Structure 1
Amino acid sequence: MSRTDPFKAKSTFDTGSGTAVIYRLSALEQAGLVKLDRLPFSVRILLENLLRNLDGYLVTEEDVRTLAAWNPRELPRKEIPFIPSRVVLQDFTGVPVVADLAAMRDAMVKLGGRPEQINPLVPVDLVIDHSVQVDAFAVDWAYKFNVELEFKRNRERYVFLKWAQKAFRNFRAVPPGMGIVHQVNLEYLSPCVALREIDGELVALPDTVVGTDSHTTMINGLGVLGWGVGGIEAEAAMLGQPSYMLVPEVVGFKLTGRLPEGATATDLVLTVTQMLRQKGVVEKFVEFYGPGLSSLSLADRATIANMAPEYGATMGFFPVDEITLDYLRQTGRDEKHVEMVRRYLQEQGLFRTDATPDPEFTDTLELDLSTVEPSLAGPRRPQDRVQLSGVRTTFHKNFDEQIKKGGGVAVATKTGVQHGSVVIAAITSCTNTSNPAVMIGAGLVAQKAVAKGLARKPWVKTSLAPGSRVVTDYLKASGLMEPLEALGFHVVGYGCTTCIGNSGSLPEDVAKDVTENDLVVAAVISGNRNFEGRVNPLVKANFLASPMLVVAYALAGTVDIDLRTDPVGHDPEGNPVYLKDIWPTNAEIQAAIAKAITPEMFKQEYARVFDGDENWQQLEAPEGELFQWDPDSTYIQQPPYFKDMQLTPPPVKDIEGARVLALLGDSITTDHISPAGAIAMGSPAAKYLMEHGVDPVDFNSYGSRRGNHEVMQRGTFANIRLRNALADGKEGGYTKYLPTGEIMPIWDAAVKYMEAGTPLVVIAGKDYGMGSSRDWAAKGVMLQGVKAVIAESFERIHRSNLIGMGVLPLQFQEGENAASLGLDGTEEYTITGISGELTPRQTFAVTARKADGREIRFDVTSRLDTAVEIEYYKNGGVLQTVLRRLATEK
């Protein structure tokens, strides 16, 4: 489809070193469609995206007019398309995405095309950052040991990704040990504003991005529109297809004043998270504004933006201003590029200054930064902020009952561990390790503590996992790495570690004491998630804190303490040392930053970001345009989505004689559907692995095996908390195989139905597919033979994912559901009207025939909401649609 320009928006502008095409937002203002100054900056960027991609098909003139009419008092409940300019992936979620691309190449060859026709159509960067674990710690060889073990554990996946690194155009892979995806994205990958050749012209456009990780929102701190999506949405974006989203509500968060002495960006973000959770911003945009913005560094803004998933928003957006441009320079971006960014954004009314009028928002809230206090969050949720002085009280309030059941408060152990002991102190995750103020601050706390003769408590497992190698450079340059290491904070890896549960085992003697005495012990981490069981299975109390407080709690060794009044330790003479004695001033932190951090550090590290270390360079990977699939691999298998695919899709048919695989209630989440966590013994996935020679100790997790559909399809609907009304009260991934009445695992029943040629449906209540955008929640269902899902309502992203996999989402009529219609799931279902001329949101007729021959007839609404979605469905999915389109191109 070629672009159209009904609003005469296409023009040129001076980049400072030439000219480029620009799609001017002012054209819409001149046409009387919008007053740009009143629009939130985030909506303006969405509007430019529609204007630039307007082709009459993927993006229509009506889409532009709908968003241009954005009114905070009367938002239309309409969906608009969004076509991001980039995609970022991490290795866990990226492997199946790359596997699908590789399988598309095989299919292209079978269709008579060339494999090189299959490449991402927009730039894609995959950062391998989620696989390193903290096995070794507090020793100078920890990093080397952990990386070598990482390569041993993940060799099959890494060989595949290294092949992809060379095989695909528009695709780059950042090897292990280079940094966390979000920090690499912030410091290097994002141009803020891009110049890109489109249809033979150089076009300037705001950087926009989707990523297969929820904390992709960190890039909002750089003024970039972006958020996390599931794999199917990411694949669609890679292939130039839109995501669909409701016209967004935008909540304005006004900041005034400046942070007081002693308060950190971490304290600020925990305060913001608590406020926004209480406000209620789920699936809304949050945009920050007000005079307080000018006192926040770019890293502080990124820290706040990173936590958008924790406060529930789609994103937490900061408009571009002079501070943003300074950050681009500080991180080594070229001055000509920075000048182009300024020129473009000023031309488009997208550049913020202190004189910029406040936009209109659907709702607002306000924070005076001077009121922020030192805080932690926990012990179970990131929005549960607690003041530093209240940590002890919070611990006892949450765990005293458990402690009493376990045998009382005072427990003498060999290691010294007792209730409340901090057994993990980790400076980790993307949230804080991108921020020099809190990282330098942690180093200064360590330096002052060492100078006073303090040491970490021996039972504390300490770790430092920077988000980029630049962090190590500036910690060394400032002389702060040595005191951190003196306290056990050696670098353990450059990746997402403790925050996602890659904390490794506790030392054997500590673990034994905790287990045998049923101790309630704690972790203090500078991460963004502290849900129960996430950090470590033996740790029940988990607190989020700044890196500076992580060091302090490693010294104290317990959360059963008030660091405001109690000493963190004692010097060699036995004198008490208090937190205030080792806490640096803001001036000390800023002076160290100014002295230690240079643009050259960023240029040097990122010049080799795609090269990898010797482990990566020595890794032997196949070459060639087609991947040589290993039939014996239990990690990577060729996806079956294109098996027997023809150039012309077969006509869609009515669904006849279908059986119900699962009859489910309200609020079924993607966690209920998608394979996640450990692979249980006796499960269909476990049986498959054992049949292929994998010992239970090597099962690993569903997450690590996402590139093998054989494992994942067996784990779909396997959640131990699933309640299927067809399972006669048995909880978990079970159903009744209706021809015999036998209760069995859902996968086993699905196989029997597929072998008999029986189509399947799932019936559910309200909000089907709510929760994270998990692609396997749609992929797995399709691979189990499900042709349609009939629900009272759908979560937006999961509905799109089902269509993306060729599964038909159908909605009961208003006021109707399975119970009101008298459906119990034992019926045979026929759905008619599908084989006719499909139109958006049309009505289909359903007949449910009971065993006694009685029929229940009712109508459902097709949730194929757009012409594009109808094309996806007729082709069997989004990948098949794009594949056929590319195969027919010359």
Structure 2
Amino acid sequence: MPATVKNPFQHLVEPLDPKDSTQQFYNLSKLRDPRYDRLPFSIRVLLESAVRNCDEFLVKSSDVESILNWKLTQTQTVEVPFRPARVILQDFTGVPAVVDFAAMRDAVKALGGDPEKINPVCPADLVIDHSIQVDFNRKSDSLQKNQDLEFDRNKERFQFLKWGSKAFRNMRIIPPGSGIVHQVNLEYLARVVFKHEGFFYPDSLVGTDSHTTMIDGLGVLGWGVGGIEAEAVMLGQPISMVLPEVVGYKLHGTPEKLITSTDIVLTVTKDLRQVGVVGKFVEFFGPGVAQLSIADRATIANMCPEYGATAAFFPVDEVSIQYLKQTGREPEKLAYIAKYLKAVSMFRDYNDVSQDPEYTRVVELDLSSVVPCCSGPKRPQDRISISDMKNDFESCLGAKQGFKGFQVDPGRHKTVVPFQFAEKEYALEHGSVVIAAITSCTNTSNPSVMLGAGLLAKKAIECGLSVKPYIKTSLSPGSGVVTYYLKESGVMDFLSQLGFEVVGYGCMTCIGNSGPLPDPVVKAITQGDLVAAGVLSGNRNFEGRVHPNTRANYLASPPLVIAYAIAGTVRIDFEKEPIGINSEGKEIFLRDIWPTREEIQAVERTFVIPSMFLEVYEKIEKVNKRWNSLVAPSDKLYTWDTTSTYIKSPPFFDGLTMTLQPPKSITGAYVLLNLGDSVTTDHISPAGNIARNSPAARFLTDKGLTPRDYNSYGSRRGNDAIMARGTFANIRLFNKFLNKQAPQTIYLPTGETMDVFDAAQRYQQSGVPLVVLAGKEYGSGSSRDWAAKGPFLLGIKAVLAESYERIHRSNLVGMGVIPLEYLPGDTADSLALTGKERYTIIIPEPLTPRMMVDVKVRKHQSTSGASFINWRSITFWTLDTNLLAPTVSYVHFPLIGNVSWV
């Protein structure tokens, strides 16, 4: 920002308290603009940021006018800058970010600059929560054993992160064992209103995890971005974003007494998926919101990526303030938070219709219409009412391979495979539950469903029910507070008796860190080629994510996770069939043990108290003795260990020059993969286990490691050699070239079938660029920068898809991989693209908005004439490092051009 430029909105500044002129704020009401009071509350946050940061350089007064004029500009693809107040990272995405920062310092030094200029400008919190796995379960010492193993496996990564916390300013590390990043954010890190350098302003953030949106439930505007975008924000760059449409989601009515917040969120997810909210904000309003706790709202906001919106915002109200009080925030903070938000008209009364702003459109949900449900077997948006669950699974068994089909021959639907476990006889069939996990930030932040699970466990034990010992049960709370109130309320013992011991504090089964299944179970599944089931209280259930041996995975509330674990199968109609038979021969139905909302609320009021939060979070950064004793280097430049298989200097800054290089045309590219719809970042860059026959495993074996030391792809994101080999290594990847699921492709010049990495290496050795063909929603799922970095390292120069997930498209752009998009109605099939053509993409110079870009496609055996096809791209991204600090330039343009057969 030029030092001589004065903020043109300085006249709006005034003290929040007339008696204290040192603490000020930008009073937006002094704009005296009637448009402000009609803006959605989420857009008001964008406006405040633009006003406060206006320097007529990065943020201009014309940007302020564009936001004020949102009613018109929302449909005009108007871009505005947004400077979030902070950045949050988890360790899977945080390690690559710190690796990039360390490499930037090396690059700046090589160019003759001061490497210590490379520092986060925007405050960043990194929570280590994705490294722990369910290696041990069902025993009282499972937690300690899993944490010890986590530390042994990840010591090198942890040392690197500890170095980063010392080497870089404005970066705080929350050690392992503290909880899930989003729950820690909600209960501890969230400011709601910042008080910083003499100013009050709204808390806001971006995070390197899709479910960063969970914080929106507390009235803090935030969403997930790619790791590359997050790094740019950390370096002081605003996010350039198109002003979004805002869908108002009106809640009214009262939920039935047996309904959980999970039932509500799965209903909302399916509803909004059908409405179509991709790229939009969703803002909740109406009297029904006032009936939802902050934990309920956070659960709904957490699932925002699953219904495709950018953010899912619940403006702050009195319930928000009470939550802050309940979680131990200081009275002085509570006072200024409420006072500030009321002063700038950002405090909400959901029962006051006069406060309802104007929205792009309004969608309504009657909470009384919600029924118990779960979702699956392969996608979070595929909601199923519990009463339909048995029939739905059985129809999926025989249905064509797809999101709702496994294509099992009808003659095998009743296959039963006997096996022995712990010297007893059992049997598995299609639909048998082998994983039951209460996991992830989605639900463990919510005392109502966690206590509901505990009360259900208590009643189940009292009725003489149990869980079969071969089922892998686990409980991974989002924070230590959960364990605290489960113990204090007396339900933890009953959860333990059913096998739901605390196994760790972090994102475990939901991210694929489910650990191994017992060998007899795996052998039975393999022998019968069974569609075994996992049931988890998480937010993602894509193919191959939870565990390689669970082909059907269902998202469910914590009480339902326990219910299906007791039943032992998802092929059950709880309304008509007993959940189990006790030792006395009595049939027990789910309705006999299901707790009511009133029962749960009574326990919650008694046992979820502020002192718990204060006690847990006062020692959060001190409690892990192994972390505290960890010795990390103190040098400002990182000393890379060339023998390390965890941390490696990445090649992204090799050859960096002071002059920005223009993008080059892509000539004669081969198609590496021909993919269909809903290819997720899990398919592109897995986070789970490293298969023993994979290129990554072979690489690690060559380094002298044994399979027990492979760890997971997620834990090795600091090493590009591993991650490049893990790109497109998901066993559930469906490549049209092969017409089956496999992490393989065809090397087109010879017709050989080989692992994707090996084929890419052959192409790169020949100097041939690559492209990928895909369908709808390419890159959906978790925010994962390696899903763009990996393809870049494989030599992929462009992706041709029908549509993209927002964050992944941004990451592709960040790596210089061009995301080309078909015009509406066009697909690879409709254009007769088989993937066996050669592609040339002409990038003209200089690049300007909405320019024409030619894509020439050469068929191998073409005798036909020419036809013309249009493509478009969204963004190009460039990284320019100068001696002062890195700057990120975004040039946004829909690239509209021609494809011709030649």
Would the TM-score normalized by the shorter structure come out above 0.5? yes
1:676 to 680, 683, 686: 686
> Which is further off, 229-238 or 10-19?
10-19
In the TM superposition, what is the alpha-carbon distance from 1:115 to its structure 2 partner?
3.8
- 1:761 and 1:790 in contact (8 A); partners too: no
In the TM superposition, what is the alpha-carbon distance from 1:287 to its structure 2 partner?
1.1
For residues 275 and 874 of structure 2, the distance between their equivalents in structure 1, rounded to whole angstroms, comes to 33
For residues 598 and 822 of structure 2, the distance between their equivalents in structure 1, rounded to whole angstroms, comes to 62
Question: Which residue does the alignment assign to 1:166?
Answer: 166
Structure 2: segments with no counterpart, 5+ residues = 399-406, 861-865, 889-902
1:398 to 392, 396, 399: 396
Question: Which residue does the alignment assign to 2:280?
Answer: 284
> Which is further off, 434-443 or 745-754?
745-754
Change (3 A) 1:635 1:716: same
SS at match of 1:562: coil
Change (3 A) 1:321 1:630: same
The TM-score with structure 2 as length reference comes to: 0.85
SS at match of 2:44: helix
Question: Which residue does the alignment assign to 1:497?
Answer: 508
For residues 12 and 136 of structure 2, the distance between their equivalents in structure 1, rounded to whole angstroms, comes to 57
Change (3 A) 1:829 1:499: closer
In the TM superposition, what is the alpha-carbon distance from 1:108 to its structure 2 partner?
3.3
- 1:443 and 1:481 in contact (8 A); partners too: yes
Alignment of 1:867-886 (within 5 A): 873=878, 877=879, 883-884=885-886
In the TM superposition, what is the alpha-carbon distance from 1:332 to its structure 2 partner?
0.8
SS at match of 1:641: helix
For residues 610 and 320 of structure 2, the distance between their equivalents in structure 1, rounded to whole angstroms, comes to 15
Question: Which residue does the alignment assign to 2:597?
Answer: 586
SS at match of 1:779: helix
Question: Which residue does the alignment assign to 2:785?
Answer: 775
For residues 9 and 45 of structure 1, the distance between their equivalents in structure 2, rounded to whole angstroms, comes to 19
In the TM superposition, what is the alpha-carbon distance from 1:304 to its structure 2 partner?
0.8
Alignment of 1:645-664 (within 5 A): 645-646=656-657, 648-649=658-659, 652=661, 655=664, 658-660=667-669, 662=671
1:25 to 28, 52, 55: 28
- 1:846 and 1:858 in contact (8 A); partners too: no
- 2:328 and 2:613 in contact (8 A); partners too: yes
1:643 aligns with 2:646: no
- 1:672 and 1:718 in contact (8 A); partners too: no
Spell out, residue by residue over 1:128-187, the C-alpha distance to the aligned partner (whole angstroms, 9 max, x if none): 111211121111111111111222222222221122222222111112111001100100
- 1:305 and 1:315 in contact (8 A); partners too: yes
- 1:186 and 1:219 in contact (8 A); partners too: yes
In the TM superposition, what is the alpha-carbon distance from 1:578 to its structure 2 partner?
3.1
Question: Which residue does the alignment assign to 2:16?
Answer: 14
Spell out, residue by residue over 1:388-447, the C-alpha distance to the aligned partner (whole angstroms, 9 max, x if none): 333222232323673744373565554423334332222111111101111112112222
For residues 820 and 411 of structure 1, the distance between their equivalents in structure 2, rounded to whole angstroms, comes to 45
For residues 859 and 585 of structure 1, the distance between their equivalents in structure 2, rounded to whole angstroms, comes to 58
For residues 520 and 40 of structure 2, the distance between their equivalents in structure 1, rounded to whole angstroms, comes to 55
Amino acid at match of 1:374: P
Question: Which residue does the alignment assign to 1:334?
Answer: 330
SS at match of 2:473: strand
Question: Which residue does the alignment assign to 2:900?
Answer: none
Question: Which residue does the alignment assign to 1:833?
Answer: 845
Question: Which residue does the alignment assign to 2:356?
Answer: 358
In the TM superposition, what is the alpha-carbon distance from 1:533 to its structure 2 partner?
3.2
Amino acid at match of 1:147: Q
Amino acid at match of 1:380: K
Question: Which residue does the alignment assign to 1:408?
Answer: 414
Question: Which residue does the alignment assign to 2:208?
Answer: 212
Question: Which residue does the alignment assign to 2:893?
Answer: none
Amino acid at match of 2:566: L
- 1:439 and 1:547 in contact (8 A); partners too: yes
1:157 aligns with 2:157: yes
- 1:663 and 1:724 in contact (8 A); partners too: no
How large is the Cα RMSD of the aligned pairs? Answer: 4.1
Question: Which residue does the alignment assign to 2:538?
Answer: 527
SS at match of 1:14: strand
For residues 480 and 252 of structure 1, the distance between their equivalents in structure 2, rounded to whole angstroms, comes to 39
For residues 612 and 203 of structure 1, the distance between their equivalents in structure 2, rounded to whole angstroms, comes to 33
For residues 637 and 284 of structure 1, the distance between their equivalents in structure 2, rounded to whole angstroms, comes to 38
Change (3 A) 1:65 1:556: same
1:622 to 619, 623, 633: 633
Amino acid at match of 2:651: P
- 1:724 and 1:734 in contact (8 A); partners too: no
> Which is further off, 257-266 or 502-511?
502-511
Amino acid at match of 2:357: P
1:477 to 458, 483, 488: 488
- 1:663 and 1:725 in contact (8 A); partners too: no
- 1:285 and 1:313 in contact (8 A); partners too: yes
For residues 764 and 422 of structure 1, the distance between their equivalents in structure 2, rounded to whole angstroms, comes to 36
Question: Which residue does the alignment assign to 2:373?
Answer: 375
Change (3 A) 1:473 1:77: same
- 2:133 and 2:146 in contact (8 A); partners too: yes
For residues 316 and 438 of structure 1, the distance between their equivalents in structure 2, rounded to whole angstroms, comes to 21
Identity fraction in percent: 51
- 2:104 and 2:118 in contact (8 A); partners too: yes
Amino acid at match of 1:20: Q
Alignment of 1:400-479 (within 5 A): 402=408, 404-406=410-412, 408=414, 412-414=418-420, 415-419=425-429, 420-479=431-490
Question: Which residue does the alignment assign to 1:236?
Answer: 232
For residues 686 and 190 of structure 2, the distance between their equivalents in structure 1, rounded to whole angstroms, comes to 31
For residues 598 and 44 of structure 1, the distance between their equivalents in structure 2, rounded to whole angstroms, comes to 33
The TM-score with structure 1 as length reference comes to: 0.86
1:315 aligns with 2:311: yes
- 2:729 and 2:743 in contact (8 A); partners too: no
For residues 82 and 23 of structure 2, the distance between their equivalents in structure 1, rounded to whole angstroms, comes to 22
SS at match of 1:609: coil
For residues 463 and 602 of structure 2, the distance between their equivalents in structure 1, rounded to whole angstroms, comes to 22
Spell out, residue by residue over 1:684-716, the C-alpha distance to the aligned partner (whole angstroms, 9 max, x if none): 655544443344664444433221122334555
- 1:72 and 1:360 in contact (8 A); partners too: no
Question: Which residue does the alignment assign to 1:138?
Answer: 138
Question: Which residue does the alignment assign to 2:108?
Answer: 108
Alignment of 1:430-829 (within 5 A): 430-646=441-657, 648-649=658-659, 652=661, 655=664, 658-660=667-669, 662=671, 671=681, 674-676=684-686, 685=696, 688-695=699-706, 698-716=709-727, 732=744, 760=769, 762=771, 771=780, 773-783=783-793, 797=807, 800-805=810-815
Amino acid at match of 2:13: S
In the TM superposition, what is the alpha-carbon distance from 1:511 to its structure 2 partner?
3.1
Question: Which residue does the alignment assign to 2:194?
Answer: 194
Spell out, residue by residue over 1:581-630, the C-alpha distance to the aligned partner (whole angstroms, 9 max, x if none): 32333332222112212212111111122234233234343333222211
Amino acid at match of 1:165: S
Spell out, residue by residue over 1:338-387, the C-alpha distance to the aligned partner (whole angstroms, 9 max, x if none): 11111111111111012243222222221222232222223333223333
- 1:447 and 1:480 in contact (8 A); partners too: yes
Change (3 A) 1:139 1:878: farther
For residues 275 and 15 of structure 2, the distance between their equivalents in structure 1, rounded to whole angstroms, comes to 42
- 1:236 and 1:878 in contact (8 A); partners too: no
- 2:88 and 2:126 in contact (8 A); partners too: yes
For residues 549 and 342 of structure 2, the distance between their equivalents in structure 1, rounded to whole angstroms, comes to 53
Spell out, residue by residue over 1:520-569, the C-alpha distance to the aligned partner (whole angstroms, 9 max, x if none): 43332222222333322222332222212222333333333332343333
- 1:172 and 1:610 in contact (8 A); partners too: no
> Which is further off, 322-331 or 18-27?
18-27
In the TM superposition, what is the alpha-carbon distance from 1:298 to its structure 2 partner?
0.7
- 1:426 and 1:525 in contact (8 A); partners too: yes
> Which is further off, 630-639 or 362-371?
362-371
Change (3 A) 1:463 1:718: closer
Change (3 A) 1:860 1:16: farther
For residues 641 and 626 of structure 2, the distance between their equivalents in structure 1, rounded to whole angstroms, comes to 22
Amino acid at match of 1:392: K
Change (3 A) 1:176 1:40: same
